[in-house]
Amino acid sequence: MQAELPAGYAGKILRVDLSQNRTWTEPWTAEMSRTCIGGVGLGIKILWDEVPAEVGWDHEDNRLVLATGPLAGLPAWGTGGLTVVTRGAMTNGATNTQANGFFGANLKYSGYDAIVLQGRAPEWVYLYIRDDTVELRDASTLLGKDTWETQEALEQMLDLTGHQLSVYTSGVAGENQVRFAAVHGDYGHVASKNGCGAVMGNKRVKAVAIVRGSKALRAADPRGLWMAAQEIAEDLQHDPSTRSLYEYGTLPGVSGLSRLGALPIKNYTTNVVPEGVDMTQWTAQGLREGFDHRGHQCNSCGMHHCHAQVLPSGPHQGAIVDEPEYEGWSGAGWAFGCTDPVATSWLNTQVDRACVDVNEFGWLVGWVIECQEKGYITREQLGGLTITWGDAEAANALLQMTIRREGFGNVLAEGVKRASETVGGPAAECAIYALTGNTPRGHDHRARWEEMLDTCTGSGGTLDSGPPVLPTEMGQPARINPFDPDAVARMVGGTRGRRQFEDSLGTCIFTTRALLSTLCRTLSAATGWDFTKDEALLFGRRTAALMRAFNIRCGITPDLERPSKRYGSVPVDGPAQGQDIGVHWEHLLDVWYDTVGYDRQTGKPLPATLEDLGLSHIVADLWDAQEATHAGT
C-alpha cells in the first residue's frame, strides 16, 4: 500500500503540453515529496529526467517549471513563493530563481504544487487556472503589453481584482526572447535570473493567470506550525541581524555597501561616492521616508519589506512605482552612475514592466555608457542616442530598444557578455559578467570575494550559496577575513546547501532568515515529518550536486568558472583598493572544489560525493567505470 502524501502539499503537479494543447495532472508520491520537497528540489529532478543535453534553452522540449513548496499557502510569513527552474538562456544550463507575491498560495489553493510547461504553443496563449479549470487561452490581445499592463488587462478580462488573481508574465522582453528576460508578477515580484522569461516567451506563453483557488490546505500539526512560524517572526523582529530586514527590507544595502567598497559605481570604474551626493537620502530611512509609501506585502507576510511608493518630484512626479530592492537601487542606479533616488526608483519600475533582470540591465547600461564615452560605441550605432553617466531617461530609451530588439538593441538584447563579444576590441574588456553567463548581483564583488566565487561556480544562473546566514549553525565561523582566499572558499563551499533547501519550501528567503533547526521544525509541523538540520543540508547539497551534474551534461565546464576581465579587475580606489582576486583565483577554486567534494579537473561531483548525497544512481551518467575508480584519488 502506498504511503499517504504528507500534509502541506496540494498533492498534484500540473503538466501542460503547449504543442498539443493538453493538460493533465500527476500525483506526488510520499517518497518523492521527501526527497524533492518542492521548488528547486522538484524542478531539478524534472530537468535531469526530462531535458537531455541536446535540448537547449530554446528547444521546445525544454521544461519551464513553476514550483511552490510545502509551506506555500500556510500561515507562516512570506509563503506565496514561486521558484522557476528551467534550462536558461544566459548559461544554457540550470536555473534556480525566485519570486514571491501570491503565486504559490493561489496555485496551491487551486490544488497544484507546481506547473510544468513543455512544448511550444502554435499561437500566443496564456494559461488560466481556476481550481480544476485549466485552459490555454488566446493571448493575442495581450501582446505588446508590459507586465503591469498584462496583469491589469487580465484583471479586467476576468473581472477579478486584488489578490484574487496572480499573474506572472515575461512582458515584452519575453515576447522578443531577450536573453535576460525575467518572469514578473503581482506588481513588482521578479524571478529574474538566467533568462527564464526568454524560455517562457520561446514557448509562446504570454502569462500564467491563477485565480485564488478554493481548496483547503492542512498542516499535520497546526499548533506546532503556528508556534514555529511565530518563533521565526519573533526572531525576524528582534534579532540584531534581521531587525533591519524586518523594518526596511533590503534598503540599508546602499549606505552599508558604499562603506565597504562593495557598491558598484559606474561600471566598476570607481568605488568612491561622487562628491556632492547626499548619502543621508540613501540610508534605509531616507529611501523609505523620501517617498509617500504604503506596504505591499506578499502572502501572509508581516514584514515591512515590500512597499509601493509615489514619485515626489521630477518628470514622472506622482507616478506609483514599486519600491526598489537593494538590487534595483544598484542596477537601475549606481551601476551606471545614477545617484538620484527618484530617477532610480522610476527606472527600476520601468525595468520591471519591461521584464528584464535589473542586475544584467545595470551592467549593460554601464558598459554602453563607458563604451560611448571612450568611443567604442558611437551615437550612430545607438540610433542617435547619447547616454552619459547617471542619465535615467536615456537608460530607459536603451531599455525600450533592447526589449524590442530595435537597431543596436538587437545586440544588447543578448546581454552584456555576448554584446561585448560582438562589439569586440577594447569594448570587450569593459563588460561585467561571469564566463558561464551567470549575471553577477548588484555589488562590486571585488570587495566581496565570496560572492564572486559563488557567482562563477554557481550552477543555477546566480549565487548557489548566497550570503552566509547564521553560518555558525553550519559549523562555519561567524565572520572571516573577506580577502583571505582559503577562508572565503571554505565559507562558500561550507555553507552550500542551505539556499537550495530554502528555495524548495515555497517561501521567501527574507522570511527564512532563521536557524535551520527552526525552519526544519516548521517543515515538520506542516508535513508530519521529523525533518532535521542534517537532512536539510543533505537535501540542499544533493540538489546543488544535481544542478551541477545537469550543467556538466549541458557542456558547462570548469574552464568557464572565472570572472570577465573587468569583473575580476583590481579596484583603483575606495576601501578595497588594490585587492586583487585574480592572483588567488586558481587557489580559490582548488579549496572550493575540495570543500564541496567535486572534481577539480572535470567539475563533476566525485563518485563518493554522489554516493554520500544519495545520488549513486547518476554516477554512471557522469563517470565511466574506469574514471570513477580513479576519481578523487
Partner 1 sequence: MPEPDAPQNTAAIDAGELEIEVVAWITKFVGGDGSTRKVFHLPLRADDTVRKVLRRLSGRFPQLHKALWDSVTGDLAEHIEVLVNDTVLDLTHNLDSPIGSSDRIALIGQYLGG
x/- mask, partner 1, residues 317-336, rule CB under 8 A, reads: --------xxx---------
Among 283, 400, 422, 602, binds partner 1 (CB under 8 A): 283
Contact call for residue 262 and partner 1 (CB under 8 A): yes
Please say which residue, 93 or 466, places its beta carbon nearer to partner 1. Answer: 466
Shortest CB 322 distance to partner 1, Å: 15
Minimum distance between the CB of residue 406 and partner 1, rounded to whole angstroms?
32
What is the rounded CA–CA span in Å between residue 82 and residue 28?
A: 18
Provide the grid cell at 486.
582559503
Closest alpha carbon to 439 in 509, 335, 592 = 335
Burial 263-280 (b: 16+ CB within 10 A, else e): bbbbbbbbbbbeeeeeee
Does 285 help bind partner 1 (rule: CB under 8 A)? yes
Q: Which of 218, 243, 294, 587 binds partner 1 (CB under 8 A)?
A: 243
**250 sits near partner 1 (criterion: CB under 8 A):** yes
- Is 500 an interacting residue with respect to partner 1 (CB under 8 A)? no
CB-based contacts of 579, cutoff 8 Å, min separation 6: 446, 447, 483, 570, 571
Considering only CA atoms, give the Rg of the chain: 23
507-536 footprint of partner 1 as x/- string (CB under 8 A): --xx--x-----------------------
Give alpha helix (H) positions in 239-357.
243-248, 253-260, 284-289, 326-331, 341-354
Residue closest to 172 by CA, chosen among 402, 331, 332, 365: 402
C-alpha closest to that of 182 among 166, 195, 172, 201? 195
Site map 553..592 versus partner 1, x via CB under 8 A: ----------------------x-----------------
Q: Which stretch binds partner 1 (CB under 8 A): 4-12, 63-71, 244-252, 310-318?
A: 244-252
Task: Decide: is 483 part of the binding site for partner 1 (CB under 8 A).
Answer: yes
State how far the Cα of 277 lies from the Cα of 341, in Å rounded to an integer.
11
| Closer by beta carbon to partner 1, 168 or else 326 | 326
Take residue 580 and report the three cell numbers written for it.
586583487
> Which grid cell is 463?
549565487
Binding partner 1 (rule: CB under 8 A), the pick from 11, 222, 314, 482 is 482
Scanning 20-28, 157-165, 277-285, 602-610 for contacts with partner 1 by CB under 8 A, the matching segment is 277-285
Please report how close the Cβ of residue 21 comes to partner 1 at its closest, in angstroms. Answer: 37
Establish if 226 lies at the interface with partner 1 (CB under 8 A).
no
Select from 40, 371, 470, 591 the one that contacts partner 1 (CB under 8 A). 470
Q: Which CB sits closer to partner 1, 350 or 511?
A: 511
Q: Which CB sits closer to partner 1, 280 or 378? A: 280
Please give the order of strands across the beta sheet that includes 22-27. Answer: 22-27, 12-17, 114-118, 64-67, 82-86, 97-99
User: d(Cα 25, Cα 12) in Å, to the nearest integer?
Assistant: 6
CA 208-211-215 angle, 5° bins:
125
| Interface positions with partner 1 (CB under 8 A) | 240-245, 247-248, 250, 252-253, 255-257, 259-260, 262, 280, 283-286, 325-327, 441, 443, 466-468, 470-472, 478-484, 509-510, 513, 575
